[in-house]
Structure 1
């Protein structure tokens, strides 16, 4: 991805129908800074970009809350449109990913990444976008909080694919397990695709396997190449975007898990607890940290040898 081009497109989209001169005056700039930004001659810092977004009507704190779905604690203490807020955001997204790994994923030096994370240096917009994608694989979801991704030519097609993939996850949940099965190293070593092989690995019917493969191909997530299916686009799906659909999807997967446990599968551990309100909040923070760690482990896990359903439940029985 050309992050410089994407940055220029984002700044152009934020300007909207205003002229560059009018936008510059709105920002209090003495020169035609918008022309420089949109031509890619220079770029604002990430914090400055968010301040620009705020000037044109974006509720920046609300945008971050929507991106997270469950607001992190740092967001109540720090303005995200400040250097400190940018550092807090990047550090939070990073989770347990090492600086070395983040540098490799983002294409930046370890020294630069460490300074961005500590707040000792402010990333310019292209580097900020690189780090958001490297840390979360959810850059498109972040951009959506600032503007319509369809207005950004560099990611327009990717956004359409992501939208289709998210819709498929809601409508055909097993498709995501089939997609993970196609990542298995044992599938890659097959002489050719075998109908029913995936179904046997994840415990679904041959008809369900065929239906999922067809719909994954229609959504552009997989392609037939040579003798087997290949994953065309690796995307991180945030299924929380539609709260009602996400709730139904979580319940669907919990029912699948319950059915497997009733059938004799192991893997469920539970405790019934009595805790204070303050400690319940601590447990919720721990739950979020656990899920962040799970994602970090999965991102680095090679070879892929198992398809696993990981479900973490923390319910206040009082409601």
Structure 2
């Protein structure tokens, strides 16, 4: 094996200083409250952490430089991509995964399918610079899986959507284009949609090594949390997958650019509006509302854009104060 099989690229190599040649690059595989595990050419190790280092500042998928003799973590390298979210009431963003090439947004062909929630994940992926793919599980149990496929494809321009049965070997073939050697994917979605099942299939785990899986309630397709922490796993195809706990709610924050990509048809029309700061709600000369009235733009898409944009604005902290002494203030607390 080589470092490249773990996802190491020239981007990370260029960050190593001349006096760090003896340090060993490793990748964070699991983050716990007081400890971290990493993988590298020497296998899996538990890292020794310097005083005052907080594990919350690291994400699964991070590249770090480690002292080979003591296993002491020396420093974290700059990330190529970072998935993070702001939880309600939290001051800082929660790190989800780092250096992810492709985000598999997993949902199932049942009552779990929710366009507005999927758009939140898409905005997150777009902002992070990670390529999103919608993965529709349990297609074999749906009466009309094609309906779910078409609904998902309409969420974002040129969005890859794959429907599959996560228990079959065919699932590996369908997702193989994103799971090649050195590639890293992450799985996100609600509990009960089949993320752990999909991970077991992609990684071809032995029965005694499989991630736990759980059933769902038939009335609302809600599942239980079977994955309790984020972790990095090797794939049979030579890539890597980061499994994440199910997220029932996902608050958007700091993703204005990601929302712009998600609703590209609105973003492209906005410069044609009469007013530069048009909200596309009531202003005269609004090109976006004109497109809705002409039947060229789905009014439900515009309404979901408005809700997501408003939530992102309200949840994104702003800088305030005199120059040289600016501080971050939550918008909601300024009201």
Q: How does the TM-score come out when normalised to structure 1?
A: 0.24
Q: Is the helix fraction higher in 1 or 2? A: 1
Q: Is the strand fraction higher in 1 or 2? A: 2
